[in-house]
Structure 1
Amino acid sequence: MMRVLILMLSFFVADGTDRVIPTCTAEACFTLYLKEKDLETASENCVNNGGNLVTMRNDNEFQSVKSALLAAEDSILNSTLWIGLVLLKGRCTDFTEELHGFRWTSEPNESKYSKWKNKPLRTCTEKRCVSTSLADDLKWTDGSCKDRAFYMCKFLSKGMCKPIVMENPGDVNYNLPFLDKPQTQSEKLAMLPHGTWAEILCGGSEDAESFLSVCDNKDGIFGWTNSERFCARDNRSCARKNGGCDQLCSETAGASVRCGCRERYYLTDDQLSCALRNNCENSPCESKCIPTATGFSCACADGFQLFEDDISCVDIDECHRSICGEHKCHNTPGSFLCECNPGFRIFAGKCEDVDECTESRCPQGCLNSQGSFSCYCHAGYDSLPDDRGTCTDINECLDKPCEDICLNTVGSFKCSCRENFVLAKNGISCVHDPTENAQNTPSPVHREEFVTKLSHLPVSFESTTINPPPLNKTNAKADSTKRRESLLGSSWILVCVLASVIPLVALIVVISVVLWKRSKKATLKNTTADNYCWVSSGLDKERKKATFN
């Protein structure tokens, strides 16, 4: 007993957080793993145990997964759960398919059934995986496969056995093929899959009788081997746990009991359990027959409904419900067909807007709208009035945006300036080049050489020479020095001005002298002194003497 307790304690310590909740139906078993894993790890765990991640290829599978989750003891309402639906890397999202390009991880890989919550991410380079949640009514959401979530495995079985019915007190441990941990009667498993072996301990103690039984196929009916009655005693009676019978119990001679079943049920090979007979054999239902406890009921396929006789089926005209919206609707037997308006296409039976902008309809900008699209040109371009969708370059220079020179470019323009000017910070105006004055201004040595050359230039025209009156040499030298210093101290702009003015002044002086001489000669020639003689007053002699002295 101590060894058993130690083993149980080590199991809960090592794997206590990885809880597994099994659930079985008449068709398959499900195991819910309450420890978050990435999808690759979860899928490998399911395959290694002989199963696959759960799928929802149709409404029956959807309802089975939903029932298994609702039967879980733990509340997982807001938890996410991986399902076996992935978009492989290198495969593109395709919104024209119900699965949007995703594929199931187990066969068959494709189906027309879908439960998307939102459109998945559009990609061709990333592997995407799908999860679901009871909070979203098990609608699908895609995400990164590296995320972590709970997961559920599905195990198909050839058949199922009902739990063992104990006629007397005892314990049963069920060892399911895909679980490492034995399941007890307290797990409340409604069915057990083929291949499950049960360890039965009668009397509830280690000294009591124990034996094994296996869920196996016996002539087309699955049941437990080795014993038809578990932990039976000769003195059993219907008064004690109904004699171990599933339904009816009757006592026989010799202190024994006999089990029986109610109407429409039959006794299975264990002589304890009862199974419902197939009430749908030779039923008059036109489409489907559903067995019930009291008989059967008829049902119809999708797109049909029961007629007044509750046996026949008639087509449902879905077009009366405006199922196609503003698009045309054509009724078909059991279904309908939408004829989409231009700019729309069929998706999952409904008309959905086509995003023309993903098809490169416009040379530049594109704006999608319901059922249509519009093109527009980028800045610097304009559309031609007679050709929709064509963009031509705008010649911005026609509007003279630049202060000086404008150069048109594709989709824009560029301003520039003439020599000695540069562009301002606004890219439009022109300002003086600050480096140009420094380059054109001569050095002080060059300015002095230029002034010296100007001072030595002779002022002569033809044969006439202007001789200014003699000046005091000292004063002349001082004046020359002052003028040179003044010139050297002037700016280069003043030198340039003087260089331009001096020749002009010299020309004016020469012309004035020539005109004066000609006027003097004419005056002397025409003067008669009115018959008077010119007599010297002696003033000239006095001037000469003053000059020589």
Structure 2
Amino acid sequence: MMRVLVFMLSTLAAGGTDRVSTTCSTEACLTLHLEEEVHFEDASKNCINNGGNLVTLRDLDEFESVKAALLSAAAEDSAVFSLKLWIGLSLQKQRCTDFTEDLNGFRWTSEPKTVSGYSNWKKKPLSTCTEKRCVSVSLSDDLKWVDGSCREGAFYMCRFLSKGMCRPIVLEEKSDVKYILPFLLNPLTPHERLEMLPHGTSAEIQCGGSEDTLVSFCVNKHGLFSWTNSERFCARDRRKCARNNGGCEHLCEDTETGSVRCDCREGYQLLDDDVSCALKNHCENSPCDTKCVPTPSGFSCACAEGFHLAADNISCVDINECHQRICGEHTCHNTPGSYICECRPGFRHVSGRCEDVDECTESRCKQGCLNSQGSFSCYCHAGYSSPSGNRNVCVDVNECLIFKPCEDICINTLGSFRCSCGEDFILAKNGISCVQNTKIPTFPSETSILEPSLKPDRFGTTTGSAPVLNNTNTKTDSSKRKESLLGSSWFLVCVWGSAIPLLLLIVLTTVFVIFRWTRSRKTSKSSATGDNYCWVSSGLDQEQRNGNSTH
């Protein structure tokens, strides 16, 4: 780790808000972007579009390299110490926080995504299954992980992996060299110097007093990285070892021709530019079981992912990832260099991890379905019930029999009920009670029926909405009721229109009969008066009746 830090040099572009701090080690470069605070997605896209990824902190080595780069930038600008920076760690929206894992359900945005065994949380992240959460760090918190909304603003750092590095070009004469790194839009300014430059960097060289520009690239030459066109660099034939070591990186020797010859210390070899030195390939015929890494004094062995060095520092031994609870609550099977998660029922294997199966999308339930982690449950809609607790079977509830919600007539329907009234009555506005029909005459077969909507009521089941008038024992609305009332009104008009002339005729006939009868009676009395003389009894009749009785 110390070897990596020795090669690291951070530079900070001066002036304005366009600030990009670049740090390069022997394996990768880091760019700290302080132009403006951005959302997590924008930060990630900016890194990817330039050929890198958001910086990660998977282990202590990455932690130390990022911290060294930030401290170097903070030396130029103290504000960097308290800035919030996005790192490539997030919880996707459809995943749940899992506190049984080191990453708590979060995943790295670049490969490998599920490395565990190291974490640096400041506190437990928010427990959620519905919100995407992203992680940020700050030097003031010693790069502790803090989760938050991905829509918040923060600065960010990108990591660019490189196949190799070239040292800066060494020239005897004063000249201008402009470096253009593959992941930066703008070239480095003259006062910005990096101790190492990544593979793919281009250099524009303009020798003093010359208008010609020589272009050189950092390329891979048989495993060693050096600059192209190095033989054409500015006026090397006039170099002297007494001046700037003749431009040589290690050893310099003056020649009889008035030039210099560069050489390297033991364990190094001279590169094609004739001034730079690189470690010899000590890995040739090495005893390493998997991978050999050159060092200044020789080599060291390394192992592929999923393995670690044995006690002999040569062989590689498989890492049992299952001891790290990498599968969570699911069954883990270790394999050479990897592992396999056997998912519990209700989960399926997706991209190396177990994800919940949404059974509700598979029509498992007859009516309502509620998905849960690893399972699901069925439920019945309002107006239905499940017999004997079997939630996958829903039968209609007979509200008329159980709750008797209607005042008069109740008709059960699937999931609901309807109320109606007998002859001469109509439904009240509550859709349940019956009131007498006082506005219009009642005709046979006319009945008002309520068709309720499916919603819970005070009976514990379903009840209807506001009642409506219906003349055909089917569901109608208020407009049909108005039409029925209007039809009845026209019927009354027709009836009264026919009855009134008849009544007038009867009245006139009766008046005429009464008039004739009164006149006839007066005539009869006039003829019976004996010419206006009165009849007076003589009393003889009485005497005769008395005499007869004596005899």
In the alignment, does 2:289 pair up with 1:283?
Answer: no
How far apart in 2 are the matches of 1:228 and 1:181? 24
- Residue pairs, 1:444-523, within 5 angstroms: none
Aligned to 1:406: 410
| Aligned counterparts of 1:350 and 1:192: Cα–Cα separation in 2 | 35
Residues 264 and 119 (structure 1), Cα distance of their counterparts in 2 relative to 1, 3 Å cut? farther
Q: 1:299 aligns with which of 302, 308, 314?
A: 302
| Contact map agreement 2:254 2:260 (CA 8 A) in 1 | yes
For residues 382-418 of structure 1, the C-alpha deviation after alignment (integer angstroms, 9 at most, x for no partner) is 1233865121221111121111111222211122222
TM-score for the superposition, normalised by structure 1? 0.53
Shift in CA distance, 58/280, structure 1 to aligned 2, threshold 3 Å? farther
Q: Does the CA contact (< 8 Å) of 1:37 and 1:148 recur in 2? A: yes
Q: Structure 1 residues 288 and 79 mapped into 2: Cα distance closer, same or farther (>3 Å)?
A: same
Give the alignment partner of residue 430 of structure 1, picking from 427, 434, 455: 434
Distance 1:236 1:161 in 2: 23
2:348 aligned with 1:345, yes or no?
Answer: yes
Q: For each residue in 1:213-270, what CA deviation from the matched residue of structure 2 results, as whole angstroms up to 9, or x when unmatched?
A: 3325697563243545667855551xx5444332344567798765332322112233
The alpha-carbon distance between structure 1 residues 195 and 233, as it changes in their structure 2 partners (threshold 3 A), is: same
Q: Look up the equivalent residue of 1:414 and give its one-letter code.
A: R
Aligned AA (2:407) = E
- Give the Cα–Cα distance (whole angstroms) in 1 for the partners of residues 161 and 310 of structure 2: 37
Q: Within 2, Cα distance between the matches of 1:115 and 1:393?
A: 53
Secondary structure, counterpart of 2:345 in structure 1: coil
**Following the alignment from structure 1 to structure 2, what is the Cα–Cα distance between the partners of residues 131 and 201?**
49
Q: Please give the residue correspondences for 1:37-436 in structure 2 after superposition, counting only pairs within 5 Å.
A: 53-54=51-52, 78=84, 113=113, 161-167=166-172, 169-174=174-179, 181-189=186-194, 190-191=196-197, 193-194=199-200, 196-202=202-208, 208=209, 212-216=213-217, 222-224=226-228, 225-227=230-232, 233-234=238-239, 236-237=241-242, 241-249=244-252, 258-385=261-388, 388-399=391-402, 400-433=404-437, 435-436=439-440
What whole-Å deviation, never above 9, does each CA across 1:67-122 have from its counterpart, x for those lacking one? Answer: 79985858596466999xxx9xxxxx999xxxxxxxx9xxxxx9885799999999
SS at match of 1:286: coil
Per the alignment, do residues 228 and 419 of structure 1 end up closer, same or farther by CA in structure 2, a change over 3 Å counting?
A: same
Whichever residue aligns with residue 416 of structure 2, its letter is S
> Take 1:306 and 1:176, find their aligned partners in 2: how far apart are those partners?
36
Q: CA deviation at 1:166?
A: 3.4
CA positional deviation for 1:330: 2.7
1:430-471 deviations in Å (ceiling 9; x for gaps): 23345248989x99x98xx79x99xx9xxxxxxxxxxxxxxx
For 1:408, the aligned partner's letter is: N
* Cα drift, residue 152 of structure 1: 9.5
- Closer, same or farther in 2 for the Cα pair 1:59/1:263, shift >3 Å? farther
Cα distance in 2 for residues equivalent to 1:369 and 1:40: 29
Q: How big is each residue's C-alpha offset from its partner over 1:6-54, in whole Å with a ceiling of 9 and x where there is no partner?
A: xxxxxx99xx77667777777888988747999999999999xxx7654
Instruction: Give 1:198's aligned amino acid.
Output: E
Alpha-carbon distance change, 226 to 139 in structure 1, aligned in 2, over 3 angstroms: farther
Secondary structure of 2:333's aligned partner:
strand
Shift of 1:278: 1.8
Specify every segment of 5 or more residues in structure 1 that has no aligned partner in the other structure, as ranges: 1-11, 88-92, 96-103, 105-109, 123-127, 203-207, 457-540, 542-549
CA distance in 1, matches of 2:371, 2:390: 19
Partners of 2:184 and 2:329 lie apart in 1 by 54
Distance 1:226 1:305 in 2: 44
Match of 1:481 in 2: none
In the alignment, the residues of structure 2 paired with residue 148 and residue 326 of structure 1 have an alpha-carbon distance, to the nearest angstrom, of 35
CA-to-partner distance for each residue in 1:136-157, whole Å, 9 max, x for gaps?
A: 999999989xx99999999999
List alignment gaps of at least 5 residues for structure 2.
1-13, 97-108, 117-124, 443-488, 511-541, 543-551
Kept after mapping to 2: 8 A contact 1:229/1:271: no
> Highest CA radius of gyration, 1 or 2?
1
User: 1:279 Cα shift?
Assistant: 2.1
Match of 1:489 in 2: none
Distance, in Å, in 2 between the alignment partners of 1:41 and 1:324 is 31
TM-fit CA distance, 1:286 = 0.8
Whole-angstrom distance in 2 between the partners of 1:229 and 1:316: 53
Is contact 2:41–2:150 with CA below 8 Å preserved after alignment?
no
How has the CA–CA distance of structure 1 residues 281 and 289 changed in structure 2, closer, same or farther, with 3 Å as cutoff?
A: same
Q: Is the 8 A contact 1:344 1:351 kept in 2?
A: yes
Answer whether contact 2:173 2:234 (CA < 8 A) is retained. no
* Identical-residue share of aligned pairs (%): 48
Cα distance in 2 between the residues matched to 1:251 and 1:175 = 33
Contact 1:227 1:270 in 2 (8 A): no
In 2: Cα distance, 1:158 partner to 1:372 partner: 47
Worse-superposed segment, 360-369 or 215-224:
215-224
For the 8 Å contact 1:328–1:340, the answer to whether it is kept is yes
Q: Secondary structure at the match of 2:405?
A: coil
Alignment check: 8 A CA contact 2:206 2:213 kept: yes
Q: Deviations over 1:330-387 (max 9, x none)?
A: 3322223333332233344344443322332112222334432221111101123386
Query: Take 2:181 and 2:371, find their aligned partners in 1: how far apart are those partners?
Result: 56
Partners of 1:329 and 1:192 in 2: how far apart? Answer: 40
> 1:283 corresponds to which letter in structure 2?
S
Query: 2:39–2:150: 8 Å Cα contact kept in structure 1?
Result: no
What number of residue pairs does the alignment pair up?
A: 397
How far apart, CA to CA, are the structure 2 residues paired with 1:411 and 1:348? 44
**Preserved contact between residue 284 and residue 311 of structure 1 (Cα < 8 Å):** yes
Distance change (3 Å), C-alpha of 1:69 and 1:200 = farther
Which secondary structure state, in structure 2, belongs to the residue aligned with residue 390 of structure 1? Answer: coil
**2:357 maps to amino acid:** V
Query: Partner letter of residue 294 of structure 1?
Result: S
Q: Contact 1:376/1:389 (CA < 8 Å) preserved in 2?
A: yes
Q: Which moved more, 1:21-30 or 1:424-433?
A: 21-30
